[in-house]
Structure 1
Amino acid sequence: TAEDVIELKQISNVSIIGVGSGATFDQIGIHIREASNIIIQNVTIRNVKKSGSPTSNGGDAIGMESGVRNVWVDHTTLEASGGESEGYDGLFDMKNNTQYVTLSYSILRNSGRGGLIGSSESDTSNGYVTYHHNLYQNIDSRTPLLRGGVGHFYNNHYVDIHESGINSRAGARARIDNNYFQDAKDVIGTFYTDQAGYWQVNGNVFDNVTWSEPGDDANPAGPNPQSNTSVSIPYSYTLDAANCVPSVVSQTAGANKGLRVSDGSCTPQNPDPTDPPDPDPTDPPDPDPTDPPDPTDPPSGTNLSLGAGSDGSSKADGTSYGNVRDGDMSTYWSPTGSTGSISIKWGSATTISAINIREAAGSEGTIGSWRVVNHGTGAVLASGSGAGVINFSPVSLTKVTFQITSASGTPRVAEFETYAS
């Protein structure tokens, strides 16, 4: 972390929570890189510039890039005091393989650019994003700009959008449900490119919205927006009626609103900290944070490393890559120094969603920071510190790599177990 940025890099399981009503980052952005399981809630971030002093994140209030997974930004206020010519960039940007992000009950206002998912037409590795019950106000464009990914946008209030709104490009697919668009221009479509994106629209209100004529680099969805794709949503959700969205959002969105939410009745609800919502019956219960699982307990199922191949970046004398997949805790692999990588590989695509790194006896706690990488694509599946069970979204691959980026000595990995669940 530098003086001009809050940086969450190569780290997981971090929450930044504003206590009370005064948590404000003034001219200081939050940058998330190679990180997972991050929560940002009840904070205001304002006037982050890409030029001038101080600078942060290339000008983003919240910026995510490079293998970021599972981020929830909730009840925040993100604002600028001008556009690009005044030194500001995006309020909420994600790029370079950032996935599974939710922005909820937040305010984004007074900026040239609301935010993007994908930095260019070729950066289509981002997506699976959800935006709901947010207010976009006094924004030129990018509410957001979506390139190549899948996004779900529901119960948002868009007001005073000057140039373009939800900009689906480069094969992106957006599902747009029960939003309220007001005093705005070109709020849905493909703009500033000839690479088309797609949308499914349901139940939206268009209040004093104007539309451009179609052109070579503009394909507005209006003036009578119709769906041109179908987008399946893998989770349950309850919609507020579109006509009450301005009222609900004004009472719930932004920092310092008491974390009020909506249950779909158009009536804001106060959270009851003594009565958390029931979990989805398809979701396993969260472990007690005061009683973490024993890192020596593997996930369920068969250890897929047994019978697979292995290689690595280097090996110390007397150690072998094959030792991490022989089921024998008395044999191990070590790199030639304190950092290095070890991989498990298969002859055909194999789906995994968890690994278990088991250190040899006498070396427990040596491993510091690490990354789990899909060797074929370079995607970072997880990052953190310390050995043990590591879970991530299911992925089909032929080679998975465990990269040790820091250690307190020479690591000794006895077993690199892989599991489908």
Structure 2
Amino acid sequence: MRRPVAIRLSAATATLALAAATGAVLSASATTASAAASGATGYASQNGGTTGGAGGQTVRATTGTAIHQALCSRASSSTPIVIQVEGTINHGNTSKVSGSSCSTAADRIELKQISNVTIVGVGSGAVFDQLGIHIRESSNIVIQNVTVRNVKKSGSPTSNGGDAIGMESDVRNVWVDHVTLEASGGEAEGFDGLFDMKDNTQYVTLSYSVLRNSGRGGLIGSSETDRSNGYVTFHHNLYENIDSRAPLLRGGIAHIYDNHYVNLTKSGINSRAGAKARVDNNYFEDSKDVLGTFYTDEAGSWQVNGNIFDNVTWSERAADNNPAGPNPQSNTTVSIPYSYALDDASCVPGIVSRTAGADKGLLVSDGSCSAQSPDPTTPTPTPTDPTPTQPTPTPTGPTGTNLSLSAGADGSSKAGGTSYGNVRDGDLGTYWSPAGSTGSVSVKWGSATTVSRAVVREAAGGAVTAWKLVDADTGGVLASGSGTGVISFPTTSLKKLTFQITAASGTPRIAEFETYAG
């Protein structure tokens, strides 16, 4: 499988003049970034490939205004640029910036009539809070390692028509990778789609990402007549607590493989209006009508291979309701033009939990149900800041001393044959399990200890689907999420840190609960 875009930094000869007030930062010596053309996977690797800002200058941005300023300060609208984003981007720090190389707006991150741009989260993470990312009339865009949450189309504040990431009007070659897209409800609560493509958007890949807690996962085509979109790949993503549109396809071709679907309440992959979907080795769990043509009599089609349907229910067929189950069969064939390696569906929940979403160290599958870092010879910008002059490979977790090795441990309960101490013994072959599917385990110190990151490592076949990281001294929640891996949170001084499992697909097995000062 091709590896995600990896950025190598080196000295450059020019600087980017950005006002300090925008929040944009360059090192004293300007930096450049390059990315392998083969980094993008799926359909984003076709049509000439998707490399984003490879070969262009790198600028750091901590505000939405700084992102827009970086775009507007380029020599032209196609001058390559890598924008490293850290911190929370919201309405309060995002304003319109004007320039000949950009067309921005104040209520969203606007990537309009531009090309050759990478936006990547670095450092302690990047969160776009109630602020959507809009791609219009643009090409060769990479978005990686960011969280976009609670974008609304009604209520206050509004942004981007309620879409977390939206693409429309002659968009080509977009790779969205290792992102977390989430809402807090459906249309009645003011939210729309998490990942939408409209009006002639083509050659797009969504990979290693989390889409959750939304009425609508996303769509290809705004109506039954908008059939100019397509060539979209979805792989190694988690769709969790979604009503429908996971995704909705109106025309076009989609390749959907090695995704984990949990709690789709109304429908899942909705192929209609002539769309063709190739659906390979996905794991569908605790869901309804996960594949078919729904809410229309204009049929689509699908080719199915190697999927697992675990506690999936199917509705009755009717004129505008054509579920593929209860025994899904292929009714078309779809030829895939690129190379890819399939993980077996049985291990999809585990591999997706370890790799999908922001702040996972850009871990990817090796095609045999194991997670690995991107090419170790090419450093990536996460989870720590890149070093412009002497880049080093990104580790799979934070660097420094694992503070848990010198800590004690306790918890809420433990299954027979397991021990709390197993989570701090440095041995991935031992683990702790709660007595049921949920519970908590803690590491604790005799005096206040400063921590800012944790790494939770599950034994093979990860089962954790929702968790909270709690400051046990105060009861405050430091972070929450789904799946396990690297967890970043505000630097905190405490005596006890608790990993609380609130939902799981089976019996969790926590091999290590590592903690780090930075």
Is TM-score (shorter-chain normalized) higher than 0.5?
A: yes
Q: For residue 79 of structure 1, what is the aligned residue in structure 2?
A: 182
Of 115, 125, 136, the match for 2:239: 136
Match of 1:45 among 123, 134, 148: 148
Partner of residue 99, structure 1: 202
Give the whole-Å Cα distance in 1 for the aligned partners of 2:248 and 2:168.
Answer: 15
* CA distance in 1: counterparts of 2:186 and 2:324, whole angstroms: 25
State the structure with more CA Rg: 1
Name the CA distance, whole Å, in 1 between partners of 2:285 and 2:341.
Answer: 22
Task: Specify the SS of the correspondent of 1:31.
Answer: strand
CA deviation profile, 1:207-249 (whole Å, cap 9, x unmatched) = 0000000001000000000000000000010000000000000
Query: What are the superposed Cα offsets for residues 174-207 of structure 1, whole Å, 9 maximum, x if unpaired?
Result: 0000000000000000000000000000000000
* 2-structure distance, mates of 1:20, 1:175: 37
Map of 1:398-413 to 2, 5 A cutoff? none
Deviation at 1:131, TM superposition (A): 0.2
In structure 2, what is the Cα distance between the partners aligned to 1:113 and 1:234? 29
Aligned with residue 334 of structure 2, among 222, 231, 236: 231
| Structure 2 equivalent of residue 195 of structure 1 | 298
Whether the 8 Å CA contact 2:107–2:160 is kept in 1: the answer is no
Instruction: For 1:177 and 1:190, locate their aligned partners in 2 and report how far apart those are by CA, in whole Å.
Output: 18
- Offset of 1:39 from its aligned partner? 0.3
Q: Matched residues in 1 for 2:362 and 2:280: separation?
A: 23
Q: Which of 210, 219, 224 is 1:116 aligned to?
A: 219
Query: Which amino acid in the other structure matches residue 161 of structure 1?
Result: L
TM-score normalised by the chain length of structure 2: 0.53
Q: Deviations over 1:246-269 (max 9, x none)?
A: 000000000000000001110101
Match of 1:355 in 2: none
One-letter code aligned to 2:248: L
Corresponding position of 2:420: none
Where 2:122 maps in the other structure, the secondary structure is coil
Instruction: Identify which of 366, 369, 384 aligns with 1:263.
Output: 366
* 2:289 aligned residue (180, 186, 209): 186
4+ long deviations beyond 4 Å: none
Query: In the alignment, does 2:169 pair up with 1:66?
Result: yes
C-alpha contact 1:15 1:39 (8 A) present in aligned 2:
yes
Deviation at 1:57, TM superposition (A): 1.4
In structure 2, C-alpha distance between the alignment counterparts of 1:223 and 1:21, rounded to whole Å: 45
**Deviation of residue 2 (structure 1)?**
2.5
Q: Mean alpha-carbon deviation: is it higher for 263-272 or for 173-182?
A: 263-272
Query: What amino acid is the match of 1:42?
Result: N
- 1:140-166 deviation digits (Å, cap 9, x = unpaired): 000000011100000000000000000
Question: Structure 2: which amino acid aligns with 1:181?
Answer: F
Q: Of 323, 348, 352, which aligns to 1:249?
A: 352
What code does the residue aligned with 2:196 have?
A: D
Match of 1:379 in 2: none
- TM-score if structure 1 supplies the norm length? 0.65
Structure 2 residue aligned with 1:328:
none
Q: Which amino acid aligns with 1:20?
A: G
User: Which residue does the alignment assign to 1:393?
Assistant: none
- What's the CA shift for 1:270? 1.3
**Secondary structure of the residue that 1:225 maps to in structure 2?**
coil
5+ unaligned residues in a row in structure 1: which ranges? 277-421
Q: Would you say how many aligned residue pairs link Structure 1 and Structure 2?
A: 277
Aligned equivalents of 1:273, 1:15: Cα separation in 2: 21
Alignment of 1:3-402 (within 5 A): 3-275=106-378
Separation (CA, whole Å) in 2 of partners of 1:228 and 1:42: 36
Q: Deviation digits for residues 31-88 of structure 1, max 9, x if unmatched?
A: 0000000000000000000012221111000000000000000000000000000000
For residues 390-420 of structure 1, the C-alpha deviation after alignment (integer angstroms, 9 at most, x for no partner) is xxxxxxxxxxxxxxxxxxxxxxxxxxxxxxx
Q: Following the alignment from structure 2 to structure 1, what is the Cα–Cα distance between the partners of residues 155 and 181?
A: 19
Q: Is the 8 A contact 2:120 2:144 kept in 1?
A: yes
Question: SS at the partner of 1:247?
Answer: helix
8 Å contact from structure 1 (residues 21, 255) kept in 2: no
Distance 2:124 2:149 in 1: 15
Q: Give the Å deviation of 1:272.
A: 3.3
Instruction: Name the CA distance, whole Å, in 2 between partners of 1:61 and 1:100.
Output: 19
* SS of equivalent residue, structure 1 residue 176: strand
Quote the offset at 1:275 in angstroms.
Answer: 4.4
Distance 1:215 1:57 in 2: 35
Question: Aligned partner of 2:329: which letter?
Answer: Q
CA distance in 2, matches of 1:185, 1:20: 39
Q: Is the 8 A contact 1:180 1:204 kept in 2?
A: yes
For 1:98, give the aligned amino acid: T
Aligned mates of 2:338, 2:118 — CA distance in 1? 23
Contact 1:4/1:27 (CA < 8 Å) preserved in 2?
no
Q: Tell me the SS of whatever aligns to 1:23.
A: strand
Q: Is the 8 A contact 2:355 2:364 kept in 1?
A: yes
For 1:5, give the aligned amino acid: R
Identical columns (%): 81
